[in-house]
Structure 1
Amino acid sequence: MPQDKKHDLYDFMQQISSEMAAEYDRIQKRATEDPGTAGDQGEENWAELLRDWLPQTYEVVTKGRIISQEGATSPQIDVLVLHETYPKKLLNKKLYLAAGVAAAFECKTTLKAAHISEAMENCAKIKNLYPARVGTPYKELHSPLVYGLLAHSHSWKGANSTPEQNIEQKLREADAAYVTHPRLQLDFLCVADLAAWSSSSMTFIGPRQVPDWSSLASAYGPTGSATTAYVGHARVKDQVDQFTPIGVLISYLSQKLAWENSSLRGLADYYRIANIAGSGSGEMRKWPSSIYSDEIRGRVEAGQLTNGKPWDEWHLAFQ
């Protein structure tokens, strides 16, 4: 049964969702005669939302490219979230140092299937501008950059359309096509009036961790596996009453940023406990233990992981 809880945060999430819907209606009235301006307005809606809900120490800018430490550059990105340490002199240069970018988002007013493939491809290319990290399961499974796709609405509006299923299928297809390592996953897909998906990973589960492995071998393979998933949160039968896709975005974005910025962890925990994201589910993709460096691989295969210990980079699972 849905949780019967009351919290002012739930009202705030509903208010933001209503405002985003109103902005979508307003933008669409002029979209056919000036699609460029419509796109710019949509990007600014998302930028303003991030400015309102992220700590003031983050700078949110629009339309820029990321430059790696070797000088390689990304395609243009709609919205970028910069670390508090970012040099003020460079804030308006539109070419942003990779080490100073915390998150980046592509924005669409009306989501189409092609946008998902494009975002997944861009995500993999841009995350490859960052050196692969070693030392803990968290570092090896994740890029320091959070990357997502945000949309006001979607194109599947017919009477018999199944937009959530269409998006999930496209996510799986694009992930298989472009994501060659878990750290290249798309972190978010949020459709403000429909649902939201957030990346998730499990470090490893195998026969050295589970005495009776035969019961799990069919799911995780004979030697075990790491897994990733896109956990979808939608308005399903057993969803909490307070669910909004924007609540999912704010809650899980705070969690993902907090792994890199410990000062944000208290707020991320607050959102999680208040449950503004509701519940979700997703289909697993299995990965061999060879995705890890040799040192980390031996330890994860041996089950040297924690479970229930907050913000531990050796945890069994990450969201």
Structure 2
Amino acid sequence: MSQGELISYFEQATLGIQIEYERIRVRAKEDPGTAGDEGEEIWAELLKKWLPGDLQIATKGRILCADGTATNQIDITALSPIYPRSMVGKKLHLASEVLAAFECKTTLRSEHIERTIESASRTKEAIYRAHGREILYGLVAHSHAWGKDRESAIVKISKKISSAGEKHVQHPNNLLDFVCIADLGTWLLRAEYDEDTYGQNMVTYYTGPVTHAAKSIPGGRETPPIGRAVTYMLRRLSHDHEKYRSLSWYFGMAGLEGTGEHSSENLRRWKYFDGSRKHANLFF
């Protein structure tokens, strides 16, 4: 399969999401609950198609830790291959086998980012305290409410992700891992430790969509937002699960993750945090 063909598949997936968004939006004012449910199902189907085939995708459930702690309801959960099939449809998912969690929005708004970052931090902290492990947590949306000015929307969303993280997150592992807006772009969490550049501090930031005319993959085509998010998810999952590494490498070599860009204004320096909780996913 050529690089261009793989990119085309994700461009088709993006087009499909956009078509479904227009259909759902027509009836959203009449019945926003049903519109939201449909949006979640569309994303669940997309994740089933593009994440490793042995993962089990469940919708609308809470994560249950062994100490009895249960999270708020989460829209989509990716469960490990060994998760009992008879329990996938249950609405309490065992924390030890949760690999990733996703919040879904049809039209993303500022308050959705705020609430999701707060929820992601609480959920990650609860799972780590009970099980000593980390999970991937993302926010996905069909579209957004920041208007048609693409560059302005990107800047505003980047600032909101950064400010909400500063407000609600006290440990870098508890940050939201990515935001994917199908018709705009994807923001990916990065963490770096470079004494020459940042001194003794670790830093985190999000690389978002490019706001200038330069293209982010060879051949002059933009990195499809969904392709960028899926490639990042594969790379993060492959840290703990070696069997996913070859697929992660293939997608990465195809240039699907792109490079993105970020503003130094949104850089967060971590002077004090629980260093014993360093994990393979912390530096990437």
Taking structure 1 as the reference length, the TM-score comes to 0.81
SS in structure 2 opposite 1:157? coil
Larger Rg: 1
SS in structure 2 opposite 1:108? strand
Judging changes above 3 Å, is the alpha-carbon distance between structure 1 residues 160 and 275 closer, same or farther for their aligned structure 2 residues? closer
Cα contact 1:120–1:178 (8 A) shared by 2? yes
RMSD of the alignment, in Å?
2.4
Matched, 1:34 2:31: yes
1:136-285 matches, within 5 Å, as 144-158=134-148, 162-202=152-192, 204-206=193-195, 210=196, 216=197, 220-221=198-199, 224-234=200-210, 236-240=212-216, 241-282=221-262, 283-285=266-268
Cα contact 2:48–2:57 (8 A) shared by 1? yes
> What fraction of aligned residue pairs are identical, expressed as a percent?
36
Cα contact 1:78–1:107 (8 A) shared by 2? yes
Select which of 263, 288, 293 maps to 2:276: 293
Range with greater deviation from structure 2 (90-99 or 231-240)? 231-240
Report what 1:51 is aligned to: 48
Judging changes above 3 Å, is the alpha-carbon distance between structure 1 residues 66 and 160 closer, same or farther for their aligned structure 2 residues? closer
Matches of 2:254 and 2:104, distance apart in 1: 27
Matches of 1:260 and 1:76, distance apart in 2: 25
Cα contact 1:242–1:276 (8 A) shared by 2? no
Q: CA deviation at 1:61?
A: 1.0
Range with greater deviation from structure 2 (115-124 or 86-95)? 86-95
Report what 2:14 is aligned to: 17
After superposition, the C-alpha distances for 1:205-226 in whole angstroms (9 at most, x for unaligned) are: 33xxx5xxxxx4xxx24xx211
SS in structure 2 opposite 1:65? strand
Matches of 2:63 and 2:83, distance apart in 1: 13
Judging changes above 3 Å, is the alpha-carbon distance between structure 1 residues 97 and 6 closer, same or farther for their aligned structure 2 residues? closer
Report what 1:123 is aligned to: 120
Matches of 1:59 and 1:133, distance apart in 2: 22
Matches of 1:287 and 1:22, distance apart in 2: 42
Q: CA deviation at 1:127?
A: 0.6
**How many pairs were matched up?**
276
Matches of 1:8 and 1:55, distance apart in 2: 19
Matches of 2:46 and 2:63, distance apart in 1: 22
Matches of 2:79 and 2:50, distance apart in 1: 14
Paired AA for residue 267 in structure 1: L
Cα contact 2:180–2:229 (8 A) shared by 1? yes
SS in structure 2 opposite 1:271? helix
Q: CA deviation at 1:233?
A: 2.6
Higher share in helix:
2
After superposition, the C-alpha distances for 1:153-194 in whole angstroms (9 at most, x for unaligned) are: 000115598111111110111010111011101011000000
After superposition, the C-alpha distances for 1:79-100 in whole angstroms (9 at most, x for unaligned) are: 1110001122321111001111
Select which of 107, 110, 130 maps to 2:107: 110
Matches of 2:275 and 2:111, distance apart in 1: 32
Cα contact 2:171–2:273 (8 A) shared by 1? no
1:70-81 matches, within 5 Å, as 70-81=67-78
Cα contact 1:195–1:235 (8 A) shared by 2? no
Judging changes above 3 Å, is the alpha-carbon distance between structure 1 residues 161 and 274 closer, same or farther for their aligned structure 2 residues? closer
Which 5+ residue runs of structure 1 have no aligned equivalent? 211-215, 297-311
Q: CA deviation at 1:239?
A: 2.2
Judging changes above 3 Å, is the alpha-carbon distance between structure 1 residues 237 and 159 closer, same or farther for their aligned structure 2 residues? closer
Matches of 1:33 and 1:91, distance apart in 2: 31
Cα contact 1:120–1:186 (8 A) shared by 2? yes
Paired AA for residue 225 in structure 1: N
